[in-house]
Structure 1
Amino acid sequence: MRHISVLIALILITFFSSCKVNQKVNGEKVGKWVYKTTINEKTDIHKGRYKKDGFQKGTWRYKYDGKLYKKEEFKDSTAVVTYYHPNRKVASIGNIIFVKEKKGLHYYYVGSWFIYNPKGTLIEVKHYSKGVLEHHTIVRQ
């Protein structure tokens, strides 16, 4: 029984260590991707996954200096996007759609976007139609 456990552990270690990051297949990004850049001597990291067709999938997280500032939750050709204040409260939340065009993917804001102050109070609502601001309501000052 102990030999089976060791064998399973070795298989799992081999499998997970073979999962490569930042891979392309036929020119399309696939699998897990991690982008790291340095801005003002601080690290900016984007982590997420791509489907085989090059579209993002699942949850993407964006951190600057170790603090989450943006999260995108992809499903099909839409995503719910949440931006955060430095105090980790929601700054804004809304939806995007993305369309594959000749020059690559294009993202558009759609629907209502809710904007909050650092205390978490709703202060304005913006409504977009395929990236164009259609209506803007100030809720509180």
Structure 2
Amino acid sequence: MLVASCTSLPVGHARNRYDAKGQRHGYWQEYFDAAEMHVANRGRYRHGRPVGLWRYYTPAQQLERKERYLRIPAGQLSITYYHPNGQIARQGRAQYVLRPDGAQFYWFGEWKRYSAIGRAEASEYYVNGQLLHKNQ
């Protein structure tokens, strides 16, 4: 599954910075509103590439997902999605690919799924973003 293309939200934090080449660099935070009351996401960039732990929120300020960018192997990240009640919904890995038209994420390997009450459900298996099968 091709998960997403990175696009900027309409409102960036006033302290967001760019490096000499105009790439995002350092701590970065974006908001759903111009008053900067509702955080959309927060994390760090290193010369245009996201690094470390990123958190994404819903407009209601519930944690939607966490993405942890791995140093080794480069370009990979682990992702955890959450149910509205805060329980883990699914966990897995993705490949981060930076292209001239934007960044894309491709899921791969096993993705563990959980019900809203935390019960394990059938895992899904992906190769290059394509669902291969589910364990029943």
Q: Please tell me whether Structure 1 or Structure 2 has the larger radius of gyration of its CA atoms.
A: 1
Aligned to 1:97: 95
SS at structure 1 position matched to 2:116: coil
Task: State yes or no: 1:21 paired with 2:19.
Answer: no
Aligned to 2:123: 125
Q: Within 5 Å, which residues of 2 pair with 1:107-126?
A: 107-126=105-124
In the TM superposition, what is the alpha-carbon distance from 1:106 to its structure 2 partner? 1.8
Quote the RMSD (CA, aligned, Å): 1.8
Q: Within 5 Å, which residues of 2 pair with 1:42-61?
A: 43-52=38-47, 54-61=48-55
Greater RCO (Cα-Cα under 8 Å, separation 6 or more): 2
Task: State yes or no: 1:106 paired with 2:88.
Answer: no
- Name structure 2 gaps, 5 residues minimum: 1-13
What TM-score do you get using the length of structure 1 for normalisation? 0.74
CA distance in 2, matches of 1:35, 1:110: 28
Between Structure 1 and Structure 2, the one with more helix by share is 1
CA distance in 2, matches of 1:24, 1:69: 26
* Aligned residue identity for 1:68: L
Count the aligned residue pairs: 115
SS at structure 2 position matched to 1:66: coil
Question: Which deviations, in whole Å up to 9, do the C-alpha atoms of 1:4-33 show, x marking residues without a partner?
Answer: xxxxxxxxxxxxxxxx83212212111111
Question: Which deviations, in whole Å up to 9, do the C-alpha atoms of 1:45-79 show, x marking residues without a partner?
Answer: 20000012x11101001122232121111113111
Would the aligned equivalents of 2:124 and 2:131 in 1 still touch at CA under 8 Å?
yes
Q: Within 5 Å, which residues of 2 pair with 1:58-77?
A: 58-64=52-58, 65-75=60-70, 76-77=74-75
CA distance in 2, matches of 1:48, 1:103: 22
- Name structure 1 gaps, 5 residues minimum: 1-19
* Aligned residue identity for 1:47: R
Runs of 4+ in 1 over 3 A off after TM superposition: none
